[in-house]
Amino acid sequence: MDDLSAGTLVRHATLGLGRVVALEPTAVHVFFPGGESRFAAKLRLPDARRLLSLEAAGHDPWLEGLTTFALDADTRRYALAATWITHEQAVAQFTAAWPGGFSGEAYLAPGGRAGAWRAAGAEMEAAFGGGAAAALLADADHRALVERALRVLRKAAAAPGTVDLEEAEAALADEATALPFFEALLAVLAVPSPARARFERLFAAAGALGDGAVAWQLATAFPFAASPAKQVFLSPRIASAAADRLGFDLRLDAAPAWSAYAALRTFSEGLLERLRPLGARDLVDVESFLHAVATTRRPGAAAGRSRAARPSAARPKKAR
């Protein structure tokens, strides 16, 4: 059994792909998402070893990113937190929030969530495209850059839980910290697929703007509006709440950091593939889905309780 350890992905002959949660001398605990239960299966050794394969397990970002499992005192089985919900329950929450789904008129309207982000993207092109913003930066025209940034954010702010305009304006008010932020932002926007180093520079500059929550929003709103096929928006309260309910370890820190951003992007890309059959087009739809998961109570759920779940035994540190 030296080839098995906690976190290893395995494939069971009948239960499918799973993740090893814990090992005991006489049993291996494996979580199988196909079982639609928050509890890991307890498989007796050595018999279980004949049914498990490492070679055919493959790669699954969602399984690999699951939060820590805890031993349930009543069942003596390892489980995700009781706040976890299944993918189907999450879809139900989204359709409760947006009855027309990803193609609904309200959802796509300027005041709808997707409509707001699409409008922000169009404003982003108008305000920062064509080299105009680079020219303003070269002239150190702080006021004009802030005005353009706020035009974009006003469009995005039509969607609840995106960015607080007053806080954003206050964060960008100091020229000494705002100009380095815009310089780092334009460096990210200048290439089709910015690498980690450019984002780390942007996150460091955003962190200098002040409060961690608004810094996260400012660092991610503009790249997301400009490139919703590749980048993600991270508002700490919403992202951490959604990740908790879906059982994903976001590793969120108070200040913007690459690890949490990359984790959310990987998770969002995996979700997009699961949501495409429902009409999702890009990461704007995933962001909207996660917002619904974080803020909409599952239809039929009792207040404060979650039926069948998926967790986060150890919650990521919240920025605010």
Domain check: are 13 and 160 in the same one? no
d(CA 188, CA 137): 14
**Is 289 a domain residue?**
yes
Confidence band of 283 (pLDDT split at 50, 70, 90)? very high
Place of tokens 């002040």: 210
Domain check: are 25 and 97 in the same one? no
| End position of a domain, from candidates 44, 79, 114 | 79
Place of tokens 């092109």: 125
pLDDT in tens, 123-181: 999 999 999 999 999 999 999 999 999 999 999 999 888 999 999 999 999 999 999 99
Please indicate, yes or no, whether the overall pTM of this predicted structure exceeds 0.85: no
- Using left for φ > 0, alpha for ψ between -120 and 50, and beta otherwise, residue 183 falls in alpha
| End position of a domain, from candidates 79, 114, 130 | 79
* 2: Cβ contacts below 8 Å, ≥ 6 apart: none
pLDDT in tens, 192-203: 999 999 999 999
**Is 46 a domain residue?**
yes
Place of tokens 């949660």: 21
Domain check: are 18 and 75 in the same one? yes
Cα Dmax for the chain: 72
Are residues 12 and 30 in contact, defined by beta-carbon separation less than 8 angstroms? yes
Report the range of poorest mean pLDDT among 49-53, 238-242, 243-247, 309-313: 309-313
Domains: count for the chain: 2
What domain range is 287 assigned to? 87-295
Q: Amino acid identity, residue 11?
A: R
Q: Closest by alpha carbon to 223, among 251, 264, 253? A: 264
**19 forms bridges with which residues in the sheet?**
9, 31
Are residues 152 and 120 in contact, defined by beta-carbon separation less than 8 angstroms? yes
d(CA 31, CA 39): 7
pLDDT in tens, 1-39: 457 888 889 999 999 899 999 999 999 999 998 777 889
Domain check: are 24 and 157 in the same one? no
**Is 302 a domain residue?**
no
Domain check: are 46 and 115 in the same one? no
Q: Tell me what the pLDDT averaged over the chain comes to.
A: 88
β-strand pairing of 9-12 with 16-24:
antiparallel
**Is 111 a domain residue?**
yes
Q: Using CA of residue 267, residue 270, residue 275, residue 280, what is the dihedral sign?
A: positive
- Bond prior to 46 in cis (omega within 30° of 0): yes
Domain check: are 67 and 107 in the same one? no
Question: What is each CA distance from 291 to 63, 175, 191, 287, 297, in whole angstroms?
Answer: 21, 32, 28, 6, 11
β-strand pairing of 52-53 with 41-44:
unpaired
**Is 133 a domain residue?**
yes
**Is 116 a domain residue?**
yes
Both tokens of 72, joined, read 């349930």
Both tokens of 57, joined, read 């397990």
Per DSSP, the residues of 141-193 read -HHHHHHHHHHHHHHHTTSTTS--HHHHHHHT--HHHHHHHHHHHHHHHTSSS
> Tell me, what's the pLDDT at 22?
92
Question: Which 3 state secondary structure label does DSSP give 41?
Answer: strand
Number of C-alpha atoms within 13 angstroms, CB side, residue 49? 11
> Tell me, what's the pLDDT at 297?
67
Confidence band of 82 (pLDDT split at 50, 70, 90)? confident
Question: Which 3 state secondary structure label does DSSP give 302?
Answer: coil
Model confidence at 100: pLDDT above 80: yes
Question: What is each CA distance from 139 to 38, 127, 145, in whole angstroms?
Answer: 56, 16, 10
Domain check: are 249 and 144 in the same one? yes
> Tell me, what's the pLDDT at 251?
81
Domain check: are 33 and 134 in the same one? no
Question: Which 3 state secondary structure label does DSSP give 28?
Answer: strand
Domain check: are 60 and 201 in the same one? no
| End position of a domain, from candidates 27, 48, 79 | 79
> Looking at per-residue confidence, does 253 or 125 come out higher?
125
Question: Which 3 state secondary structure label does DSSP give 24?
Answer: strand
Domain check: are 127 and 275 in the same one? yes
